[in-house]
Amino acid sequence: NIARELGIQLKKRSCKVFISDQRVKIPAWPPYRYPDLVSLCGKPEYETIGGVATLLNPSLVIEILSPSTEAFDRGDKFSYYKSIPSFCEYLLVAQHRPHITQFVKQNDNKWLNTEANSLTESLYLPSIDATLLLEEVYLGIEFKEIEITPPDERIV
């Protein structure tokens, strides 16, 4: 859904969205990674690594979180992506509930963290001048109810 929504918004501009088969060079953790989605405005730059074109200049990286990758995506992987000079925006998209965490690099090299938790919310993506509506991101996705046991009913 995200690739489609961004593709529609970027269609008549010099911006591009690449899905998970696009390799991205990671200077801090060579030679490369395969993010779920990457985007940039302007001309893509490539380096051939092992005979395959590897993107050098993404501005936006999007990772879809899973229980097995979430800690790595939030921690070390984010740190590795920061070694890409053009990288300035990171989205972490939850699968089990409507929730997107956004990090945007500021002029002082600090990262501003914003979270959207409701299908009625949206996030502006300054790196590509686009807006993601959570209701579109999660269109057609049914969330399972998570049962929470009240504290007084827990077995100790």
pLDDT per position as a tens digit, 39-77 = 999 999 999 999 999 999 999 999 999 888 888 888 899
Instruction: Give the CATH number of the domain where residue 112 resides.
Output: 3.90.1570.10
The kind and range of the H/E element at 10 are helix 2-10
Segment 115-123 shows an average pLDDT of 97
Strand partners, 112: 104
Model pLDDT, residue 146: 62
Asked if 99 contacts 132 with a C-beta cutoff of 8 angstroms, the reply is no
Residue 138 CB-density burial (10 A; 0-12 exposed, 13-18 middle, 19+ buried)? buried
Task: Point out the least confidently predicted range of 17-31, 47-61, 88-102.
Answer: 17-31
DSSP 97: S
Higher pLDDT, 91 or 28: 91
Q: What angle do CA 77, 81, 87 make, to 5 degrees?
A: 150
Model pLDDT, residue 30: 79
d(CA 55, CA 61): 12
Q: What is the domain count for the chain?
A: 1
Q: Which pLDDT band holds residue 123 (cuts at 50, 70, 90)?
A: very high
Residue 3: both structure tokens together = 């690739």
Segment 12-38 shows an average pLDDT of 93
- Domain residues for 137? 2-153
